[in-house]
Amino acid sequence: MKKISIALTLIFAVLLIAPKFIGSVVESEREKVLAELNETDGISLTTSTYNNGWFGATVSSELTVDLEDDGLADITLQLKENLSFGPIIITEQAWHLGLGYSAMTFNFSAADVDEKIIKLINEKLHLGVLLSFNKDVTTFINAEEMSYEDGEGAIVSAPATAQFTLINNEHISGDFSWGGLELKDKNQRFVIGNVAMSTVQKVVSGDYLQGTAILTGDATFNVEKIDMYEQKNHIFSLTDAGLSSVVSLDNDLLALAIKYHAKEISASGQSFEQPNLEVVIANVDVNALQELNDTMASLSTGVAGQDDSAELLAALSAVAEKVLAKDPTLKVTDLSVVTEQGKIASEFNLNINKDLFDVNNINSMAMIMALEADAKGKAPMAFLAKLGVAPMVDNFVTQGYLTKQDDEVSFEAKYVQSQLTINGKAFQL
């Protein structure tokens, strides 16, 4: 029993003493992050007061986001932080093990924004940041339900939560959940259902905080529904829609796969099921892309109002040659939708012939001259007849540009050296 008492006393003593030493680590890490953020173009973060205590600290800071280049007024946040030092941290939402936790409140100000909206954001949006023992940074965002009325319309935003972790400025993972939004006035109504997003990514080149990073990994976005009403008429509907992306890197070549899908979409009196889009971009030189990112970042930090078009064109020319050397491709492997009359489906491949592309004269005409593509597709004749284009379709069938079989119309097309052929026949644009 005596040994247990001694052990408990030692643990209690450590818990009492540790925060004082941990506090210096938290302050040092905070200063480090502060310096990194201030190196980011368009962001300025300054600390006015830092009152250090045994178990925590109170901090006052000002964050300014410069949006002059975007033609917008600057955004300023007056930040108030209540820092809690570890190893055991108890917050209003939960308890954590870590070096420190910052519970933030802020006063948001921006020109040309209704003061009621600013007050609402300040009161309903809560932000917390956890610094773990291995110095990972996890951000917690919690938004309460927000509602706003201006006499003619109303906006209601459901609660939202998010949690994102950044490890050594190289690994990013997180989840976002939002109950949706409703916007209405006397004539119109717009509704977004439950929204969910998740991502796991890794920086493989560049700097995340400088905005030059190239990321690999997965990301998903899903929305339960989107509806639009006008004078009580349901003019647009989208249900169970999702978007996912996968970026991978192999031998310095990037590949991006994007998939979009939905259960049903209705608009302009037409209703479709299972709209799908799958796109694959492959063989993109990561080093050339990084070079372009760095150039774009350096141009954005130049003198305001300076014409950088010549420098940008030179950068694009240099990068284009390196990118095309790896034979990048774009493939739409599935572009389809199911109608009442049957399925409409198509796919196509696209690439730029590097031997035909003039990297010293980048313009739309040079792109068209070097473009090579092939495509194929099919659609039910009954659907085309419903659109009123059956006579035109029959005319193309007669000319051999389209194939008609079992009430289905199909085609195969190629575009090489500015010449389009459909079903093997030259077609003049």
Give the number of other CB atoms < 10 A from CB of residue 284: 20
Instruction: Give the DSSP per-residue string, 255-323.
Output: EEEEEEE-SEEEETTEEEEEEEEEEEEEEEEHHHHHHHHHHHHHHHTS-TT---HHHHHHHHHHHHHHH
Query: Residue 160's closest CA among 105, 121, 113?
Result: 121
Q: In angstroms, rounded to a whole number, what is the distance separating the alpha carbons of residues 418 and 429? A: 10
**Tens place of pLDDT for every residue, the chain, 429 residues?**
544 544 444 444 444 555 666 767 777 888 887 787 777 767 788 888 888 877 778 888 888 877 666 666 677 878 888 888 878 777 766 777 888 888 888 777 655 566 777 777 778 888 888 888 888 889 999 999 988 887 778 889 999 999 999 888 889 999 999 999 999 888 889 999 999 999 999 999 888 777 788 899 999 999 999 999 988 788 899 999 999 999 999 999 999 999 999 999 998 778 889 999 999 999 999 998 888 877 777 765 554 444 556 666 777 777 888 888 899 999 999 999 999 899 999 999 999 888 887 777 766 666 778 889 999 999 999 999 988 899 999 999 999 999 999 889 999 999 988 888 999 888 765
Q: In angstroms, rounded to a whole number, what is the distance separating the alpha carbons of residues 243 and 246? A: 11
Q: In angstroms, rounded to a whole number, what is the distance separating the alpha carbons of residues 33 and 122? A: 24
Q: Which residues pair with 419 in a beta bridge?
A: 416
Residue 197: what pLDDT?
A: 96
Tokens of 41: 């173009």
User: pTM for this structure?
Assistant: 0.82
Q: Where are the domains of the chain?
A: 1-144
Cβ(36)–Cβ(209) below 8 Å:
yes
Q: In angstroms, rounded to a whole number, what is the distance separating the alpha carbons of residues 354 and 327? A: 8
The letter for the amino acid at 425 is: K
Residue 19 dihedral angles phi and psi, to the nearest 5°: -55, -35
